[in-house]
A and B are shown apart, each in its own frame.
Chain A
Amino acid sequence: MPETTPEVAEPSRRQLRRAEQARRSEYGAWYPRWFWPSFAIPGVMWLIVFFVVPFYAVISVAFGTIDSFRNPLPVWQPWYWTNKYISGVLGHILGTDPYLRPTYIRTFMYVAIASTICLVVGYAVAYYTARHGGKYRTLILVALISPFWISYLMRMLAWVNLLSDDGYVNVILEKLHLISEPISWLSGKDITVVLGLVYGYIPYMILPLFGYLDRIQPSLLEAGRDLGASPAQTFWRVTLPLSKPAIYAGMVIVALPMFGDYYTNNLLSGSPNTTMIGNLIDGSVITAGQGPNGAVLVLILMVILLVPMVYYLRGTLKAQEAK
């Protein structure tokens, strides 16, 4: 008798799914395919509502027009756009009557100097805290960061009082006989604005640096020393390269808001000699009829800021590959 093989029924889809579920459940709970991607929905919605739409509104204002009240009137359809405002503003930066150019150059200088100071000071602080803070490191960090729980504006207003002619800064400098008469810090000085920027943004430099420096394995440093490097060489050839991603991150995090800052200058100076890009934007937005110009200035700033952003992303990617 020929052996009859029992007919094997084609597994139904349901059985297949069960099997698949069983297989997957060996690795943990089973979830449908859409489950994990759906976690991105809140983030995507956030981006759409708070970035894409406002960004399109800025573009629509920059290429739009003004209403009869001389307030900006956005034009949403690209086919109705005009480049009247964009060419006007670009003309004043790059063209024949470049009166906006000094403001751009000045802003770059301020941001470069201020973020460099942030890096130097912030690195020293973060390094000390991470390497030598011992059991007090948390305390040191909290002490460093605590003034920044107060709003930026309040801290700047405090500086206005401290730096005034009869404020504590001058009083202390006079007591120490470093100066013979009060310095008018608030009379429109570059240095006041730059130091204001440093003060305002330095914690954003310290925190990422601390995070990175703290995680550097002591064994790597010991290896460096074992192989004959001096402490300075160990720092230059081990610690510093390892902390590069944090330096990139810190520089970008402090430089981006500095570019758009306007109230530091408003409060600590007010002189046209210290005007920054942010002040131009602010001035345009609150002046009737100048709204579209303000939007154009915002777009130009965004394009400028893409450069450090891209540099930062490239830097961090490279650092990841190196690992």
Chain B
Amino acid sequence: MRRHPREGWKDAREYMEAKKGRSVSRRDFLRTSAGAAITLPSLAAIMAACSNPRTDGSTGGTVDVATPDNPVRLPLVGQPIADGLQPEKGATLQIYNWDAYMWKKIIDEFCAEYDCNYEWTTFSNMEEAVAKIQTGQFNFDIFFPTVDPLGRLVKAGYLQPLNHSYISNLAANVWDNLQDPFYDKGAQYTVPYTTYTTGIAYRRDQITDDEIRGNPNPRAMLWDPKYKDKVGVYDSTRDTIAFALQKLGINDVNTENPADITKAKDALLELVELVNVRTSINGVYARLPKGDYWIHNAWSGDIVAGWGYVPDYTQENYETLGYWFPADRTGPTDNDMMAIGANAQNPVLAHLFMNYFLDFQHAMDNFSWNGYQPPQKQADVDALTSTEGRYSAISKWAPPIPYVPPWMPDAVVREDDLNNALFRGHELSPEGDALWSEAWQEFKAGA
């Protein structure tokens, strides 16, 4: 077995993966064995069911679905903390996040500065995270929600409004178009954390840059029988169906048109036939570098982080990793965010934590570790492919590598990418959501 320089590191991803028996990624839907159990209903849900079954229904609540064309100002539930409070002393900050989505070195430095400890709790998918929050028993300080449940979390009173006086870095450092995002106008509850595009990761020893960039429809390359047994797609309903839609030339990645969804589903079934596609969640950052996959739909941050997972840390291995995103930037571009719990025990510290990670240097240091780009004004996006990050700099065992490998300029996210309303994934209506889920189940069931 080949040794991994990060083996035995406390935060080494491979080590974590082996230890927890599951792969790790920001959107790690891979399940723990416990995940097989039906999510235990929360006490609140039981009470609700006892007194008033079914009226709660699947109506999706009364929160407007936020879209770029219909930005939503979330209702004010609760009050933000007062100005000028001192941070809690000797506190233990509760962080509720995806696994391996934040460099713990930076958190350690934050805690050294503010004299606190932290407890790091992870979830492996958003459904699990929301279910745990719904129990009302978990007083997290910092949480990393996605766009989908945000409105409902706010309405149900699980998040607290932010006091911007503690988060000066938001206005100072964050891209202007995320100061007032469509899902949370006025950034009342959230601050942006990272951004990413969804394109194609490929092995450059099998597919050349020119081959994929010169292809009139590179997405269709996943359907090429030439790559049989080496094609992967994310085990993620939204990302992979949207990918199939775009392959077919349907650019509405939030479509609820049954005919479109059926077409995408048929394309995916064809993918099973033609190339025996596999679904994965660690396919891009962990298994493509090992050669298990040659081509895979990919979040840009996964492939940027992929250099930490090559079998040997050699320049040659680095250069096998490639990423394609359309030159006209017509592909999904999204951002993740941070929020503070309504029952946070350390709300002041939580605000300061947000501010810390919106600081230019801290955000970039974190980027050098996790591969997901922060939306920082001061970052010269054109220089990301030539500037070495801190993680590479302290990783003496490996040849240095810039934030983004020089041959992957497509993986750099630009502020303008977020302006294209068509390619911003947003929440679906319950009916639309069911259509996507059923199409996905049919794809996964195989034939």
Interfacial residues, chain A to chain B (CB-CB below 8 A): 57-58, 60-61, 64-77, 80, 82, 99-100, 102-103, 106, 151, 153-154, 157, 161, 164-166, 184, 186-188, 260, 262-263, 266, 269-275, 278-291, 294-295, 298
Identify B444's interface contact among A67, A275, A278, CB under 8 A. A275
- B343 interface hit (Cβ, 8 Å): no
The residue of chain A having its C-beta at the shortest distance from the C-beta of B1 within the complex is: A161
Q: Which chain A residues lie closer than 8 Å to B447 at the CB level?
A: 99, 102, 272-273
Q: Which chain A residues lie closer than 8 Å to B58 at the CB level?
A: 65-66, 70, 289
A87 CB to closest chain B CB (Å) equals: 14
Q: Are A187 and B21 in contact (CB under 8 A)?
A: no
Tell whether A68 pairs with B59 under 8 Å between CB atoms, given A272-B445, A289-B430: yes
Q: Are B277 and A272 in contact (CB under 8 A)?
A: yes
Interfacial residues, chain B to chain A (CB-CB below 8 A): 1, 17-18, 21-22, 29-31, 33, 35-41, 45-46, 48-50, 53-54, 56-61, 125-128, 130-131, 134, 148-149, 152, 156, 229-230, 232, 235, 237, 272, 276-280, 290-292, 430, 433-434, 437, 440-447
B437 CB to closest chain A CB (Å) equals: 5
The residue of chain A having its C-beta at the shortest distance from the C-beta of B42 within the complex is: A71
Q: Are A153 and B21 in contact (CB under 8 A)?
A: yes
Identify A72's interface contact among B35, B41, B57, B442, CB under 8 A. B41
Q: Which chain A residues lie closer than 8 Å to B156 at the CB level?
A: 68-69
The residue of chain B having its C-beta at the shortest distance from the C-beta of A288 within the complex is: B127
Q: Are A61 and B57 in contact (CB under 8 A)?
A: no
Q: Which chain A residues lie closer than 8 Å to B60 at the CB level?
A: 68, 70
| A286–B123 CA distance with the chains assembled, in angstroms | 12
Q: Are B39 and A272 in contact (CB under 8 A)?
A: no
Q: Are A287 and B127 in contact (CB under 8 A)?
A: yes
| A207–B232 CA distance with the chains assembled, in angstroms | 39
9 closest cross-chain pairs (CB), A and B = A187-B229, A272-B446, A153-B21, A270-B278, A68-B61, A99-B442, A80-B53, A75-B53, A275-B446
Q: Are B152 and A157 in contact (CB under 8 A)?
A: no
User: Can you offer 13 A-B residue contacts whose CB atoms are under 8 A?
Assistant: A65-B53, A65-B54, A67-B134, A72-B41, A75-B54, A100-B445, A266-B30, A270-B280, A271-B279, A273-B446, A286-B125, A286-B127, A288-B149
Tell whether A69 pairs with B277 under 8 Å between CB atoms, given A75-B49, A102-B446, A286-B127: no
Q: Are B437 and A272 in contact (CB under 8 A)?
A: no
B133 CB to closest chain A CB (Å) equals: 9
A91 CB to closest chain B CB (Å) equals: 11
Q: Are B276 and A151 in contact (CB under 8 A)?
A: no
Q: Are B279 and A272 in contact (CB under 8 A)?
A: yes
Identify B272's interface contact among A70, A106, A273, CB under 8 A. A273
Q: Are B272 and A285 in contact (CB under 8 A)?
A: no
Q: Are A73 and B56 in contact (CB under 8 A)?
A: yes
Question: Which of A100, A102, A166, A188 gathers the greatest number of chain B CB atoms within 10 Å?
Answer: A188
Tell whether A282 pairs with B31 under 8 Å between CB atoms, given A71-B130, A103-B445: yes
Q: Which chain A residues lie closer than 8 Å to B131 at the CB level?
A: 69, 71
